[in-house]
């Protein structure tokens, strides 16, 4: 495999820095409040230089989502390789990772009702490939968990899948953390409990 040139290596380093900045700003401000000027300022480059890498704000958000999805797929694959965990443990581990990422300020926050962003993501091949691969793997675990009686089999598997995805943008962890009364670990485990066990009293 031919070695990349120094210029190509520098371009990759710059793109990595851009995506890192976008990821942090999306987690902190959300897509609507993040600006391209803020991204360029954080990376320390001119806006015109940033546009040479990513042609739009939507493309920046898509790149950040691809990075998170790649990390998420690695978490799923790591859980799949575990022989000491049942299927419910694996699903909870993936949800736990998403909550921890959110509390650490590393989970991008994107609006659900933005046509230009939705179009960018829908036509982004790498993003869609990752989304489908993760969804297929989690979906298989959900079906198995329902078959084994760990998750209510009367619920559509898609509903369970979207409920798990929703943990990545759940507002509850940030609200509990902002009060300063609870640790991140406590918040994560409580949200997981309500997600997987509901609010019914335990007997």
Domain holding 93: CATH number?
A: 1.10.357.10
Digit-coded pLDDT (tens) for 168-197: 989 999 999 998 999 999 999 999 999 999
Angle at 121 between CA 17 and CA 4, to 5 degrees: 40
Query: Using CA atoms, how far apart are residues 150 and 157, in angstroms rounded to an integer?
Result: 13
Decide: pTM greater than 0.85. yes
Which two structure tokens, joined as six digits, stand for 46? 């001119």
Which two structure tokens, joined as six digits, stand for 115? 């046509």
Task: Kindly state whether residue 104 falls inside one of the protein's structural domains.
Answer: yes
Task: Kindly state whether residue 50 falls inside one of the protein's structural domains.
Answer: no
Q: Domain range for residue 145?
A: 58-197
Digit-coded pLDDT (tens) for 69-102: 999 999 999 999 999 999 999 999 999 999 999 9
């Amino acid at each position: 495999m031919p070695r990349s040139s120094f210029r190509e290596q520098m371009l990759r380093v710059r793109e990595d820095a851009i995506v890192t900045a976008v990821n942090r700003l999306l987690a902190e401000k959300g897509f609507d409040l993040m600006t391209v000027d803020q991204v360029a300022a954080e990376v320390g480059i001119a806006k015109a230089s940033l546009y040479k890498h990513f042609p739009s704000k939507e493309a920046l958000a898509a790149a950040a989502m691809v990075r998170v999805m790649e990390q998420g797929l690695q978490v799923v694959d790591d859980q799949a390789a575990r022989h000491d965990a049942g299927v419910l443990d694996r699903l909870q581990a993936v949800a736990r990772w998403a909550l921890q990422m959110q509390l650490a300020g590393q989970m991008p926050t994107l609006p659900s009702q933005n046509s230009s962003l939705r179009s960018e993501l829908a036509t982004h091949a790498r993003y869609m490939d990752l989304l489908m691969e993760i969804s297929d793997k989690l979906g298989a675990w959900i079906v198995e968990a329902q078959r084994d009686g760990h998750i209510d089999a009367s619920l559509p598997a898609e509903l369970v899948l979207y409920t798990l995805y929703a943990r990545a943008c759940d507002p509850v962890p940030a609200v509990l953390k902002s009060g300063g009364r609870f640790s991140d670990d406590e918040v994560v485990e409580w949200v997981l409990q309500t997600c997987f066990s509901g609010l019914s009293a335990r007997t």
